[in-house]
Amino acid sequence: MQINPAYSTVLLKQARQHFKKTGVVQLMSFLEDANLNPIWKHKCDPLKYSCRESKCKLSKEFKETIKLLTGKLVKSSKLLMFKKGDYTVLYDGMKQPNVVLFLDFVDMKESWGGYTAFIKNSAEVFRIVPKANTLTLVDCSKISFFTKYVNHHAKNTRIVLCAELDK
């Protein structure tokens, strides 16, 4: 994965300030190219989630860019695929990361589901509707999240890189 050269150090530092202030930042056209060769494995616990998962090796450049944006190191990463009928739910005992990264590879309409909803005090505070080549960083220290059920209207399959960052 090669970062779009338009994201200069100056621009990334401005994005970091925004992230520190608001807890959320989105960067569009983030990658110049993405060479993905995933091997998908279906993961399902009907009361918690249903999706496909693949390992994902991040480049040194990618990890350094995320550190510049957040001041934190990437702890773990994986590719997730959400097809029709896939979802994640909030549940007691769910481990929530401090900072989470989403990098979507496919556009999806909100009406199809598959978006990520962020919850605080039992109310949705915002959502990420998948937009291709868009990086989203979210401080999840005080909020939880889940992926909405992908319904039968969906024309695409959501493919997203998810990463957890150190505290």
**Which of 3.20.20.70, 1.10.3720.10, 3.40.50.970, 2.60.120.620 would CATH assign to domain 2-34+57-165?**
2.60.120.620
Q: What angle do CA 156, 157, 163 make, to 5 degrees?
A: 135
Collect all residues with Cβ–Cβ distance below 8 Å to 48 and sequence separation of at least 6: 88, 89, 91, 94
How is the chain split into domains, by residue range? 2-34+57-165
Give how far Cα 84 sits from Cα of 105, 128, 141, 150, 160, Å.
Answer: 17, 18, 30, 5, 15
Confidence of residue 25 (pLDDT cuts 50, 70, 90): very high
Report whether pLDDT(15) > 90: yes
Summarised one tens digit per residue, pLDDT across range 26-83 is: 999 999 988 888 999 999 999 999 999 999 989 999 999 999 999 999 999 999 999 9
**The pLDDT of residue 34:** 80
The answer to whether residues 96 and 140 touch, using CB atoms and an 8 Å cutoff, is yes
Greatest extent of the chain over all pairs of C-alpha atoms, in Å: 45
